[in-house]
Amino acid sequence: MITIEITNLDELVKEHRGPVSALFGKLVTDIEGEVERIIINELKEEFEKRGIKSNICSVSGISLRRFVNS
């Protein structure tokens, strides 16, 4: 399993929707869900270009803990 944490959600939405639409979108839509759709679409397109067959799934309700070793 691969887990990817996207840390610049607002910037991605602005890039794909435009700054004004992204600003108003915060009030109406789920930013994390929007970024998830963007990333999934980009993965699909790139995989198709490279001839990679895959199933991409969105999973919710998982709690991840980050452990830091010193």
pLDDT digits (tens, 9 = 90+) for 21-51: 656 655 556 777 888 888 889 999 999 999 9
pLDDT at position 24 is 60
pLDDT at position 49 is 96
User: Does the structure show a pLDDT above 70 at 67?
Assistant: no
Q: What are phi and psi of 57, to 5 degrees?
A: -120, 145
pTM of the model: 0.61
Q: CB count, 10 Å around CB of 7? A: 7
Domain limits of the chain? 1-70
Report in angstroms the alpha-carbon separations of 7 from 4, 32, 35, 45.
9, 10, 10, 22
CB 34 within 8 A of CB 40: no
CB 29 within 8 A of CB 20: no
